[in-house]
Every structure is written in C-alpha cells, then in structure tokens.
Amino acid sequence: MSKIIEIENLTKTFGKVVGVDDISLSVEQGEFVTLLGPSGCGKSTLLRMIGGFEEPTSGRILLDGQDVTHVPPSKRAVNMVFQDYALFPHLSVGKNVGYGLRVAGMPRREVREKALEALALVGLEDRFDAAPHMLSGGQRQRVALARAIVRRPKVLLLDEPLSALDANLREQMQVELKALHTKMGLTFILVTHDQTEALTMSDRIVVMRGGKIVQMGSPVDLYERPATSYVAGFIGSTNQFRSVVATGPTGPQVQCFGQPISAPAGVAPGQEALFGFRPEKALVQFGEEGGGPDTLRGSVADILYHGQSVRLMIDLGAGEVLVDLPMSGSDGMPQVGDAVSLRVGADKIMVLADEVAA
C-alpha cells in the first residue's frame, strides 16, 4: 500500500482561534478514514485544507507524493461532497454531475455517458433530467456523491454527508457509502461527529479534539482499547472510575465505587489510575445470592429499553454504572429495585490514560 495523502505539521489559525493544531497524518491509498470529534474540534478545517478551500497557516500537504499545499482546489485531484450538497440549483441532475467534465472540454456525449455511469453507481440514472429541487434529501445526497466521483478523484472528501438525513436513511446510506468505497477502491476521508457512523464505515478512525488528534486506529482498536477517558466516552459508553491499585487476597485489586474487583494487567499496586468497562462487558445476574470473585453488587435504579437489549442503571451504593442485558427471548423484564450482581473480569477492564488538558 502506498500513501496517497501525507499531512505534515499542519496548522490553521483563524485570528486567535486555532482550528487545526499541528496535525500530522497519512492516509493509505484506498483507505476509508474518518475524522471523528465533537463540533468545533477542527475536522472540517482539516478536510477543507485537504480540498484546498482553506490555506494552511503552516505545514504541508502531499497528495500522491506531490506538494499541493498551495494548489487551488480546481487543480487538485480530490473531490468533495459538501455538507449542504452544494448542487447547482439551475442545472439538472445530469448537468450537475457532468459539470466539471463539460467545462474541462469533454465532448457532450462522453460527458453524458460518464454522468450516467456515476449516477448508476448511486442508483439515480433515471433522474438524469430532474431538477435538484425536485429530489428528496437522500437523492440529492446521492447526486452530490455521483458528481464528486465522476472524475475519479484520488481522494474523496465527505463533510458530514449524512447529517442532514433522517435516522433510517442515514443507516442505509452508511451501508451504501461503504459498498461504494469497496466497489470503487477510492480513498475516502469522511468527517463526522457521529461515532456509530465512524464505527460502521471506517477502516481507520481519527479522533480529534481541540484541533489535535487524540487517538487513531481501527474501529475495533478504538472501541476495545480507547487510550483516554475522552475517547472511551466519545466512542460507545464506558463506566469510568478512578482507583488506587491495592494488593488483595487474590492479587492486585481496584475499587469500583467502593467494591473490590481484580485489577487489569499493566498496573502495579500503589498506582492510581482511571479505569473503565463497557456496559455490555459486565455479566449480569439477578437475585441476592449471585456472587463470587470480581462481582459488584447493587440494585436496578433505572431501565432503558432498546429492543434487542436493555440498558440498566445499577446503583452500587457509592455510585452508578450502566450495563447492557441482552434480551434473548423469554427472560422477564427486570424491575426497578431488583437486586443484581455484575461480574466484571479483569480482562474487561480498560486502563485509561489521563487526559492531557486540551
């Protein structure tokens, strides 16, 4: 695999506001990379610098080995799907898709063929002559996509492409985007603030905060081994607790809201650290008698029904944790107040680095 994009120490400031702060990142050819973070963390700015819409304050961008830091967008072999789709309202769907090719001087006929081909990829070849305002939101999104891929860019940039769609459509489009990526073999860089979206589609997720990269890795990496409390909280839910590692009867122990459980590997007695476990990793048992090692005891404080599972808030006395209970058939619904025991094995506990003030 070769590097299609290399970003070196890229910084962008708007007056006193730092949009992107000294970021270095490379993207492999054909990779699906997602920039993930809350609003204002600098994702769009980074993406727009790759597209050429913002001039970096310092740093370099290489595209396929070429320095394109100061190359205008019209001369970069990357294309963008804009958040508001940016379809030309005065042009038909087909003309929108063929716009760039036509202006570049490609014969009309060829333009039409290419546009139809691109529209076919997104399943809209029959709307070639429609006006953009006659399309639904999802269809417009697809047209924007077709327009961005018709020139076979080296990199496709997508800025929150799904955020304007309703939930059902969004899930469907996630699948389609992923399929398109696989089919075309293009490099995708997608910006989102939605962790589910990131987890579903990406080969690699880059988590950002305050203009910096906090952590990057595959979805599994990030989910299973979030480096910081911030990442752990942003991707999925995590029950977090701070504790000093002590030596217990069976080995090192940590206190989870006042109840001892075995400490995970990698920490030594006497050390203080932030720990966490995912709600679905706890083994839930009802009744007074459940127990054994590494078990937390408490009672059900609240119930959130999710269909395929139930999320329970468990009152541990000194604090509350969330756990997921799969709903497999005939199990009765738990009731608030039910006594419960949670088994959290040491292998399920994550050690989270302290947050660097960002």
Number of residues that bind ligand ADP (CB under 6 A): 11
- Which residue has 């860019």 as its token pair? 153
Q: Pattern of binders to another protein over 19-58, x per CB under 8 A?
A: --------------------------------xxx-----
Q: Which does 109 bind (CB under 5 to 8 A by kind): ligand ADP, another protein, Mg ion, none?
A: none
Among 3, 151, 154, 212, binds another protein (CB under 8 A): 151
Q: Which does 86 bind (CB under 5 to 8 A by kind): another protein, ligand ADP, Mg ion, none?
A: another protein
Best CA proximity match to 33, nearest among 193, 216, 288, 211: 216
Secondary structure (DSSP) of 54-118: S--SEEEEEETTEE-TT--GGGSSEEEE-TT----TTS-HHHHHHHHHHHTT--HHHHHHHHHHH
The answer to the question of residue 192 lying near Mg ion (CB under 5 A) is: no
The answer to the question of residue 228 lying near Mg ion (CB under 5 A) is: no
Bridge partners (DSSP) of residue 341 are 285, 297
Q: Which is nearer to another protein, 156 or 340 (CB)?
A: 156
The closest residue (CB) to ligand ADP is 44
- Minimum distance, C-beta of residue 276 to another protein, in the bound complex (Å): 40
Quick one: which segment of 43-51, 107-115, 144-152, 271-279 binds ligand ADP (CB under 6 A)? 43-51
The answer to the question of residue 84 lying near another protein (CB under 8 A) is: yes
The answer to the question of residue 103 lying near another protein (CB under 8 A) is: yes
Measured in whole angstroms, how far is the alpha carbon of residue 263 from the centre of its chain? 29
Q: Is the dihedral of CA 295, 301, 305, 306 positive or negative?
A: negative
| Encoded tokens for 239 | 């029950």
Neighbouring residues of 301: CB distance < 8 A, sequence distance ≥ 6: 312, 313, 314, 315, 320, 336
Quick one: which segment of 40-48, 276-284, 312-320, 347-355 binds ligand ADP (CB under 6 A)? 40-48
Best CA proximity match to 301, nearest among 349, 256, 334: 334
The answer to the question of residue 229 lying near Mg ion (CB under 5 A) is: no
Number of residues that bind another protein (CB under 8 A): 28
Among 22, 29, 40, 99, binds ligand ADP (CB under 6 A): 40
Q: Which is nearer to ligand ADP, 159 or 324 (CB)?
A: 159
Question: Which ranges of the chain would DSSP assign to H, the alpha helix?
Answer: 43-51, 93-103, 108-121, 137-149, 167-184, 195-201, 219-224, 229-234
The answer to the question of residue 244 lying near another protein (CB under 8 A) is: no
- Cα 306 to Cα 22, 161, 175, 197, 310: the distances in Å are 41, 26, 22, 18, 5
Secondary structure (DSSP) of 293-305: TTEEEEEEEEEEE
Quick one: which segment of 40-48, 106-114, 200-208, 274-282 binds Mg ion (CB under 5 A)? 40-48
Quick one: which segment of 58-66, 145-153, 199-207, 341-349 binds another protein (CB under 8 A)? 145-153
* CB 287 within 8 Å of CB 257: no
Cα(48)–Cα(35) distance, integer angstroms:
12
Torsion-angle region of residue 68: left (phi > 0), alpha (psi -120 to 50) or beta? alpha
Bridge partners (DSSP) of residue 227 are none
Cα(137)–Cα(153) distance, integer angstroms:
24
Q: Which is nearer to ligand ADP, 83 or 309 (CB)?
A: 83
Among 79, 174, 215, 259, binds another protein (CB under 8 A): 79
The answer to the question of residue 41 lying near ligand ADP (CB under 6 A) is: yes
Q: Which is nearer to ligand ADP, 18 or 106 (CB)?
A: 18
Best CA proximity match to 136, nearest among 176, 115, 106, 164: 164
Q: Which does 260 bind (CB under 5 to 8 A by kind): Mg ion, another protein, ligand ADP, none?
A: none
Q: Pattern of binders to ligand ADP over 8-37, x per CB under 6 A?
A: ------x--x-x-----------------x
Q: Which is nearer to Mg ion, 73 or 100 (CB)?
A: 73
In the complex, the residues that contact ligand ADP under the rule CB under 6 A are 14, 17, 19, 37, 39-45
